[in-house]
Amino acid sequence: MSYAKLKEIEDWYNKPLDDKIIVAKQIIQDALNQSTKQAVAFSGGKNSLVLLHLVLQFKPDIIVVFCNTGVEYPQNLKFVRKIAKEWNLNFYELKPEKNFWQIVKKYGFPDPRRWYKKEPKCCWYLKNKPANDFYKANNIDCVFVGISAFESRTRKLHIAKKGPLFWAKRVGDTRFKKPILRAYPLAYWTDRDIWQYIELNDLPSNPVYNFVERTGCMVCTGFIGWEKQLSAINPALYRKIMHMMGKTVLADFSSHAQG
């Protein structure tokens, strides 16, 4: 990875949305040309909604995959299913073999993302493993993902190294030797671009964004500030996780004092 590649990505930050749409559509077309059976990874989040809207313009019957982790925000789950119905999607809702509580009991809660180098076990078992198993079982050789280089330094470095379209080795692959094509049409988009596209195309907004900035797992401890967010949204769930971690919360002292 060179400084030049990182600089090229940085140069995209302030470019007009129209330019980014052109590139996104070219990435989509190139991915379709290079593969035989494709899928879109749809989480219900704003990026994946925009990605889905773009890809459907090329392939209306494309397979759409949603990994229901079992610890979704209820509003997100309702939103995803509503979109699947109203947009008449070729939709598959996947569920993991193990639930979140079983996973953290065995492997522990994920550390904040700046502290770990490997994928947390919960991400693997709840999302990536079900998706990978589905792709293999259904001969999917291309998956569209809505990540952006401007979401984090890790993703910026990843896209600088791999590019927005690349062939990746299938993790844990035993039956299929052929790699899978990963396409990031929104690689150079900012949050501002995403919201602008949603507004211009009158796309529905996920109600989860009315009270949080992300639509990932409700119980995720892998991002900075999770304690403040979860304690405000679901104090009981926050207290349960803190107790499982062997930590105390302010309410514990209040309860003790009252007792």
CB 224 within 8 A of CB 59: no
Predicted confidence at residue 170, as pLDDT, reads 73
CA 128/CA 163 separation, integer angstroms: 21
Average pLDDT, rounded, for the chain: 89
Predicted confidence at residue 250, as pLDDT, reads 54
CA 103/CA 81 separation, integer angstroms: 26
Domains (ranges, CATH) in the chain?
3-211 (3.40.50.620), 225-259 (no CATH)
CA 48/CA 211 separation, integer angstroms: 19
- What sections of the chain are H helices per DSSP? 3-11, 17-34, 46-56, 74-86, 100-107, 121-123, 129-137, 153-162, 191-200, 226-233, 235-244, 250-258
Q: What is the pLDDT of residues 1-22, one digit of tens each?
A: 456 688 899 999 999 999 999 9
Q: What is the pLDDT of residues 118-128, one digit of tens each?
A: 778 888 899 99
Residue 16 three-state SS: coil
CA 119/CA 131 separation, integer angstroms: 15
- What length does the chain have? 259
Average pLDDT of span 73-98: 96
Helices 250-258 and 235-244: crossing angle in degrees, nearest 10, is 100
CB 92 within 8 A of CB 64: yes
Q: What is the pLDDT of residues 183-194, one digit of tens each?
A: 999 999 999 999
Q: Is the pLDDT of residue 181 over 90?
A: yes
Whole-model pTM? Answer: 0.89
Q: What is the pLDDT of residues 209-252, one digit of tens each?
A: 998 888 888 888 888 788 888 888 889 889 999 998 888 765 54
